[in-house]
Amino acid sequence: MLHMSDSFSKHDPALTVRRILKVNHAGEFGAIRIYGAQIWVARRLFPDIVLALREMRDDEIDHCHQFLEAMPSRNAKPCRVMAFWSLGGFLLGFLTALGGRNMVWICTEAVESTVHRHLKDQLAFLQARDPDLYQLIASIQEQELAHLQEAEKNQTTRGLGHRLLLPIIGFLTDLMIWLSTWGDSSWMRAEMAFSKRA
């Protein structure tokens, strides 16, 4: 009988690296769409936050390009359902922006918190396996953390809306990651957790 630890130990770490790149590239694409929709609404309803949203979207565009450039040398390919990320990101950005400035920042906090958790796991896995990708993700993580801090700073209230929306948007972000990778993200997370214990 094959134990879980046996299947992990025989698993090719390069496959996990490819999954990491696929998930991260798709996630950055989704973030671009979220910010794009929020900017579209904010221009009309609360233009004072457009500049901050544009700066964060520019960071995500840069991250997306960097992950795409890292793919060929690792035989990785973009996610097959980018349209899913496009529509999901746009809807999340549009609906949260309609809820007002505070909801925009709650959305940013929820998404960036989820991203930060995923990147932290990835860094633990990559440190000894792919130093170049480790450095790339570490530098991107710093910018994502700055987005999270900006979102926390700009929230005027942290009441019921915050308590309800934060876990819902975080769950939706995790769900998009899982669906877009056909469940690969669950396997990847389990493998990374195993590698930390090994």
What pTM was computed for the model? 0.85
Q: Is residue 161 part of a domain?
A: yes
Please indicate, yes or no, if residue 7 is contained in any of the structural domains: no
Return d(Cα 185, Cα 191) in angstroms, integer: 10
Compute CA distances 79 → 11, 30, 191, whole Å: 21, 11, 20
Mean pLDDT value of segment 106-130: 90
| The pLDDT value given to residue 1 | 38
In a domain, 181, yes or no: yes
Residue 81 maps to a domain: yes
Question: What sign does the CA torsion over 152, 146, 105, 165 have?
Answer: negative
Nearest alpha-carbon partner for 21 in 84, 88, 75 = 75
In the chain, the amino acid numbered 166 is: L
If you average pLDDT over residues 67-77, what whole number do you get?
A: 96
Q: Give me the mean pLDDT over the 127-141 stretch.
A: 94
**The pLDDT of residue 157 is above 70:** yes
What the block records as the tokens of 23 is 């998930």
Structural domain includes residue 197: no
Most confident of 16-20, 28-32, 83-87: 28-32
Query: In the predicted model, what is the mean pLDDT of residues 39-43?
Result: 97
The 3-class SS string of 9-21 reads HCCCHHHHHHHHH
What pLDDT was estimated at residue 195? 63
Residue 162 contacts residue 155 (beta carbons within 8 Å):
yes
Q: What is the tally of structural domains in the chain?
A: 1
Residue-number span of the structural domain to which 38 is assigned: 12-192
Mean pLDDT of the chain: 86
Assess if residue 6 is contained within a domain.
no
Indicate which CATH number applies to the domain containing 53: 1.20.1260.10
46 against 182, higher pLDDT? 46
Q: Tell me whether residue 2 is in a domain.
A: no
Winning range, highest mean pLDDT, from 9-23, 25-39, 82-96: 25-39
pLDDT of residue 103: 93
Taking the CA atoms of 37, 42, 47 and 51 in sequence, report the sign of the dihedral they define: negative
Has residue 56 got a pLDDT over 80?
A: yes
Residue 98 lies in a domain: yes
